[in-house]
Amino acid sequence: MKGVKGIATTVIALIVVLAVVAGAGAYLLVTGTPSSSGTSHGGSGDNKPPENDNQPGSSLPTSGPYYHQIYSATSSNGIDWTVDNTLLFNHASVPGAVYFENKLYVYFVNASDLEAGEKLSVGISEDRGETFTTYDLQISGSNSPYPVDPNPIVDDDKIRLTYLGNFNQGETTNKIVTAHSTDGINFTEDGVIFTGAEIYDPDLFYDDVSGEWVLLLNTGGLTKATASSSTATFTEDPSFSWSQGSISSTHKIGNTYYTYYFGMGVSVAEYSNGSLTNVASSILDFPGLNADPTVAIFGENDYEMFFKTQST
């Protein structure tokens, strides 16, 4: 085909190529190297979750992390939060955040690459979340064929990441695995610390009042287990009961352990004497809120929460 019709065809093809490149350029992940120069924390300010950037006829999942996004909020007391309307990560779910050696690490399930499938990634920021560079996680060990639900903390001058290691592997028992890293990207397994049939979303923290490590798990409500160290086998506490919500993340703010959880949106309870007492419900107001709260502590009276939303 030649002439005017050929020129028009070429122009249309070029427009389509540019549109596809623009839509796919948000996340280009290369294992062990930065995925991009950074994600700007200075967007349009529109507080609606983005519409699907799908192309008609493409093969897309029907639900799950592909339709999730991560936003943030700030607080000076851990109770009252101001939401930032800027989208931080798209096609991203189950955030886990930690501030370590003057860098902010936001771990998440990354579903941006439909061909490669879901994976654990981390966005690292040296300017407190203004920009991020995204990396694929590397985990050395045999218990992490499909790691999800990342929960990072600082433990003994390292980042400790606890997660569900064998998601969607056709096994009847789920394995909660913990691993450590000095750079926040390359992790070495320490081992399986808890197993169960229907357990997800680990929330690991050290209670310096009782002198024990505590592991909260999403079982529809919350289940609690304890151990003498972060890498030991945890034992379930049958006396503990919590049915007001699930998917928690516990942080020491001031002298109080606050457990943020998914229940009536994002809510917060106080962990004390081995039990939870609700403090405040529905502490965030944001369109499409789907919870999974996690908090990075920059210093006294200086906190940032990350949470997920869901588009349709």
Residue by residue, DSSP assigns 261-299 as: EESSSEEEEEEETTEEEEEES-----TTEEEEEEEEEEE
Using CA atoms, how far apart are residues 209 and 201, in angstroms rounded to an integer? 24
pLDDT higher than threshold 90 for residue 158: yes
pLDDT higher than threshold 80 for residue 255: yes
CB 227 within 8 A of CB 217: no
Using CA atoms, how far apart are residues 23 and 19, in angstroms rounded to an integer? 6
| pLDDT confidence of residue 44 | 37
249: its two tokens? 């993340």
pLDDT in tens, 11-30: 333 333 333 333 333 333 33
H or E element that contains 135: strand 133-136
DSSP 166: B
Using CA atoms, how far apart are residues 255 and 273, in angstroms rounded to an integer? 13
> ∠ at Cα 119 (33, 117), nearest 5°?
110
Model pTM score: 0.84
pLDDT higher than threshold 70 for residue 36: no
Q: What is the mean pLDDT of residues 71-80?
A: 98
User: 3-state DSSP call for residue 311?
Assistant: coil
DSSP 104: E
The domain total for the chain is 1
CB 242 within 8 A of CB 259: no
The amino acid at 77: N
Beta strand pairing call for 186-196 and 138-140? parallel
In the sheet with 92-100, reading across from the earlier edge strand, the strands are 92-100, 103-110, 119-125, 133-136
281: its two tokens? 């419900």
H or E element that contains 220: none
Q: Give the least confident one: 36-50, 57-71, 259-273.
A: 36-50
* Residue 197 to residues 85, 90, 133, 214, 267, Cα–Cα distance (Å): 38, 30, 36, 19, 26
User: 3-state DSSP call for residue 50?
Assistant: coil
H or E element that contains 16: helix 3-24
Greater confidence (87 vs 28) lies with 87
pLDDT in tens, 196-228: 999 999 999 999 999 999 999 999 999 999 999
Q: What is the mean pLDDT of residues 173-189?
A: 98
Burial tier of 104 (Cβ tally within 10 Å: 0-12, 13-18, 19+)? buried
The amino acid at 20: V
CATH of the domain at 189: 2.115.10
Domain region containing 30: 3-310
Euclidean distance between the first and the last CA atom of the chain, given in angstroms as a whole number: 41
